[in-house]
Structure 1
């Protein structure tokens, strides 16, 4: 796969290197495609949205049937192409692009393997039987289909297994494969197969586990080889073009940048204390409270909170007044104007390079490394469990929800912990998950405003009824 600049044209084909499959790609070798640099990046981002959506769904404990719906929607939304004949090419290009991105460390490889395997299982299950057999042929599975004579002799046993799982007994034309039992430990552990003389009898609808295991093994080996190529040549050869894109993608935030004012309009200084209590995420609530308490924040805290406030609609004049009112209590007005006011104007693009700075995403905040005396960062990651429990209690999170939050934190699902906090405080689900502090604020304001509107509507209806009476 060759990457060209923005002015180059692509010469796409549907070849997959290991033979063309009209169903799903096995990604055995990079295709002979000429790809524009912008397509390389945009296709990778679209696929990354799918994989991160799958990751979020699995982390939230969605049921298999819920995951089926989720993956279908993710693919429909992100993996389309304006030219229907290019859908397969987009799928192949995006996979190999992300293979470069996620080959670079053990943790990245592990995540990519899990998500790509989950996506493959979904796609395989939704193939027709003949297409599934074609994919199995590509993997050259060393398992033979059970003959009709043998199938008839164990029909009753197979029926007992099916009934134990709440399924109908196999029909006369059912296809089973005879597999060494150690090759299907998941099915054996779940008592989902009949075992006889060291072999498990695997139904056609269970073969996905066998195929997915081979797919994962194949991809695992390929990622290691890709990493060797990346470190030995690609990274250096492409350091001015492709490397910056690859190194940025694994930590990319894929949502809105929230650099513009809040869609709910500017927030006023007189309302900011109340809004902070009702709609700030914990990371910003903590910074806000510490600023009010100490009348000072170090640089990291000022940047994290200041850009967040800019994104939620605090204009420059009010931002200067807000920071001045707090800092002058500790450092004095003159020192504030001399040492701090410039940075606030700079964040709003009024000084220096006039850059419109973007509020920090969850990923950036979680990845930060606050030191002693710092208050920025992600409380779910950087607080001790004791301090986190105290902070959640002050926000009003009940004990049951708090245990769920702490459980996610222990498993290092920090954004999910924030999502559960949001749901507990707003009594509303947040299916998309929290990926940005300003998203938390925006979603909170929407919910709270809808409750106010509903209350007003009820009052109006009651007043109308009284007038009619």
Structure 2
């Protein structure tokens, strides 16, 4: 992939493949895009892929999944006319740069793009699917009526052996080289004649997705080589920071300020940690109480979280001072650690108002020996995680479900199940530690009394 940045600060690339709504993304588009669009297009596509990932991890299938993906595409990618095709192609190639840089990133991107392509291909009409395969020189030919009549008895025999409906004149079949469908051949699920397997259209998507996946897998490896050899260094001042940040970009609400209108002060912290902190913050909090110290990564993760839930700077300084002074003394805390607390609140240095870490950033962190930050679902051993979950009084089916999600690397879904099990209420999915806190407080905190028309607050109605 050969991206070139023009002198007018717009991004250009060579090649074209914009005539079809679907694409194998074989060549980068011959279009210019501003750096702002470069990032925004990628973020919009990333929202689609992340939404698809969450739906798949929650077991959504069939029509429910189709409706969700269609809705996500319409919300984030739909534009008028040919510009939708341009945005589709540009956003794919930008994310290809983002996700080519490690085996783990490539694996995720390959899985999500293949799933998205499958959905979009299956949504096309039979004629559009046929046209797409012709345009991309996929050697699968649909059989005509006369050819179907000549082999319908054989096709019927295969269908009956599989307890499937016998094909009729409306059934669609493709002729595919038999070596491309080894599973169907070995399972005697297709009729073969002269080296060609007669594959029903219901199986066609899997074949085309296989081609898509194979091409993209090779392209990601090549893109990584170009990225390492040229692009990363040449674009160190412009594209590289954007590309490196996108894979861990948080896409949800801003939690730099508390959204739940509660008075969070020092005397409430311990009880809130037990009831409303996600496991990552609960672990940090009680390690701090136990050891009276956290390394920098832990201080950042917990400190910004506490800022986000509404702990004021004065209370934050008092909180950290009360713990650290037990180990290093008040004077050393004020000299070496207080600056960092004020810095996180935007009161020192460049006075940047730092935001709490998202789940994605916590998951992608790399805690070392003696560190306690990170995501317990990812970074704890199975035994340690079971102990931590046991402290929440989780067991039985809920614990089994959580551990299953962890083994399948669905860490945020594991956290969501933890939330549901400890609160007795469903949630749409946890993407941010401060979201966990906010949703918990909505459930645990009683709503404020409603004012009556005469301005007097009405007591809540109770039943015995």
The within-5 A match list for 1:132-171 is 132-152=129-149, 154-155=151-152, 158-159=155-156, 168-171=165-168
Give the CA deviation at 1:460. Answer: 0.6
Matches within 5 A, 1:29-40: 29-40=27-38
Residue aligning to 2:434:
438
Correspondence for 1:460:
461
Q: Structure 1: where are the runs of 5+ without partners? A: 464-469
Aligned counterparts of 1:263 and 1:146: Cα–Cα separation in 2: 62
Partners of 1:223 and 1:297 lie apart in 2 by: 39
C-alpha separation between the residues in 2 aligned to 1:315 and 1:372? 31
Q: CA offset at residue 407 of structure 1?
A: 2.0
Q: Hey, what does 2:84 align to over in structure 1?
A: 87
Q: Equivalents in 1 of 2:291, 2:11: separation in Å?
A: 58
SS in 2 for 1:270: helix
Aligned in 2, Cα 1:36/1:375: closer, same or farther, shift over 3 Å? Answer: same
| Cα drift, residue 233 of structure 1 | 2.4
| Equivalent pair of 1:178/1:199 in contact (CA under 8 Å) | yes
CA drift at 1:235: 2.1
1:207 aligns with 2:204: yes
Show CA shifts across 1:201-253 (max 9, x none): 21223211222122222222332333333233222222211122112212222
2:52 match: 54
Aligned twin of 2:453: none
Q: Quick check: 1:104 aligned with 2:77?
A: no
Do the aligned partners of residues 147 and 79 (structure 1) sit closer, same or farther apart at CA in structure 2, a change above 3 Å counting?
A: closer
State the alpha-carbon separation in 1 of the partners of residues 81 and 150 from structure 2: 48
Measured on the aligned residues, the alpha-carbon RMSD in Å equals: 3.2
The question of 1:415 aligning with 2:412 is answered yes
After TM superposition, give the deviation of residue 371 of structure 1 in Å: 3.0
**1:180-201: CA deviation from partner (whole Å, max 9, x where unpaired):** 444234556787x433456532
Change (3 A) 1:16 1:76: farther
CA apart distance, 1:266 = 4.0
- Map 1:170-209 → 2, pairs under 5 A: 170-185=167-182, 187=184, 193-196=189-192, 199-209=196-206
User: Could you say which residue in structure 2 is the equivalent of 1:356?
Assistant: 353
**Partner SS, residue 35 of structure 1:** strand
- TM-aligned CA distance change 1:167 to 1:275, over 3 Å: farther
| Cα displacement (A) at 1:95 | 0.9
Counterpart mapping for 1:15-414 below 5 A: 17-18=16-17, 20-21=19-20, 23-81=21-79, 83-152=80-149, 154-155=151-152, 158-159=155-156, 168-185=165-182, 187=184, 193-196=189-192, 199-414=196-411
Paired residues in the alignment total 455
Equivalent-residue separation in structure 2 for 1:363 and 1:74 (angstroms): 20
Shift of 1:43: 0.2
Deviations 1:280-313 (A, max 9, x none): 0011101111222233323222221111000111
Query: Does the aligned pair in 2 maintain the 1:125–1:208 contact within 8 Å?
Result: yes
Q: Tell me if the contact between 1:125 and 1:205 (Cα under 8 Å) persists in the aligned partners.
A: no
Q: TM-score, normalised by structure 2?
A: 0.87
What's the secondary structure of 1:261's corresponding residue?
coil
Whether the 8 Å CA contact 2:10–2:35 is kept in 1: the answer is no
**Could you say if the C-alpha distance between residues 420 and 182 of structure 1 is closer, same or farther in structure 2, counting changes exceeding 3 Å?**
farther
Q: Distance in 2 between matches of 1:422 and 1:412?
A: 17
C-alpha displacement of 1:77? 2.0
1:3–1:35 Cα contact (<8 Å) kept: no
SS in 2 for 1:324: helix
TM-superposed CA distance for 1:261, in Å, is: 2.8
